[in-house]
Amino acid sequence: MLKRIFIISLITLSISSCDNKQNSKPAAQATPQKKEIVVPEFNADSAYNYVAEQLAFGPRVPGSEAHAQCAEWFIDFFNEKADTVYIQEFRTRLYNGKSIDGKNIIASFNPEAKKRILLAAHWDSRPFADHDPDRTKWNTPIDGANDGASGVGILMETARILKENPINTGIDIILFDLEDYGAPQYLNLMTNHDWALGSQYWSKNPHIYNYKAYFGILLDMVGAPNPRFPKEYYSQQFAPTLSNDIWRIARELGYSEYFLNEIGHPINDDHIYVNTIANIPMIDLIHLEDNENSSFYPYWHTMKDNLEQIDPKTLGMVGDVVLNVIYKK
């Protein structure tokens, strides 16, 4: 059941003597009590269904029909839930020099609020399964269930909850496009800025002039079973207080087994550009392994990054943390 925020106050009455009015005591001061904040329950099954619906379109590779159809679905969804929806169309260049069109989708809640929190994920999926053990699949687009759709599913459920349980803080949900179109591994191109193209564009050209946010949270690969969420290295460098606060909240909610109090590998993700260009402190909540072969979860950029790899329990845990952060901070 969704719960509402309410205020409890105590009123202390002054008591006067019936026998001698001259001996009456001054009224005691009422002790104001803090507003009790009740965080709505995150529906993990609903988030899972949003992930499944994204995958039903097929791989959301920019330029494909599935990408266009999924974008329209997102826009219709957020138009029903948010106060304002911005569609940021842009044109940029890929690692190979070719131009391509992208589309960032921004859903704003309580747009007049000065204090704002930015929540983000990328909604495109990779056109190359270049880490698949089967070399014949390296040029095949992937479903991107965990790598992209999981974070979007959590943000869609968050939007549904915000619609039913408004808060005074302004919330902006951004679905970044063209995050995952970097050069395939087999080309041996050591590139960084050919990734996260949508967040690079938005950071230079925010949907509102001079846009500011108190802080931001990026969700990436947040749906696999038995996740491993250390504090991503750059997040701890750019926004250490925010990172520590979020992991403290996760610990208080009982998730310390998965939100590890240790520094993880540095990841070149959307948050880099939000931090360095938009100057908004943002952390990357991302599944990171601790092994020599790869920092990412086992099915990263493979054909097996499909719905079978999504666990509603993980979606619910991450969603619970996100809701506690935005409703309490």
The model's pLDDT over 75-126, given as tens digits with 9 standing for 90+, comes to 999 999 999 999 999 999 999 999 999 999 999 999 999 999 999 999 999 9
The model's pLDDT over 157-206, given as tens digits with 9 standing for 90+, comes to 999 999 999 999 999 999 999 999 999 999 988 778 999 999 999 999 99
Give the closest residue to 137 by CA, choosing from 291, 270, 306, 295.
306
Domains: count for the chain: 1
Report the first-to-last Cα separation within the chain, whole angstroms.
Answer: 22
Does residue 145 belong to any structural domain of this protein?
yes
Does residue 7 belong to any structural domain of this protein?
no
Report the distance separating Cα 87 and Cα 106, nearest Å: 6
Does residue 32 belong to any structural domain of this protein?
no
Does residue 68 belong to any structural domain of this protein?
yes
Does residue 50 belong to any structural domain of this protein?
yes
Give the closest residue to 217 by CA, choosing from 268, 173, 279.
173
Does residue 26 belong to any structural domain of this protein?
no
Provide the pLDDT for residue 292.
67
Strands 282-286 and 215-220: parallel
Q: How confident is the model at residue 12 (pLDDT cuts 50, 70, 90)?
A: very low
Report the distance separating Cα 224 and Cα 309, nearest Å: 5
Q: Which residue segment(s) compose the domain that 76 sits in?
A: 41-328
Does residue 1 belong to any structural domain of this protein?
no
Provide the pLDDT for residue 3.
36
Q: What is the CATH number of the domain that holds 158?
A: 3.40.630.10
Residue ranges of the alpha helices (H) in the chain?
Answer: 44-56, 65-81, 150-164, 197-204, 233-238, 240-252, 270-276, 312-328
The model's pLDDT over 259-298, given as tens digits with 9 standing for 90+, comes to 999 999 999 999 999 999 999 999 999 999 987 667 899 9
Does residue 316 belong to any structural domain of this protein?
yes
Letter string b/e over residues 270-279, b meaning 16 or more CB atoms within 10 A of that residue's CB: bbbbbbebbe
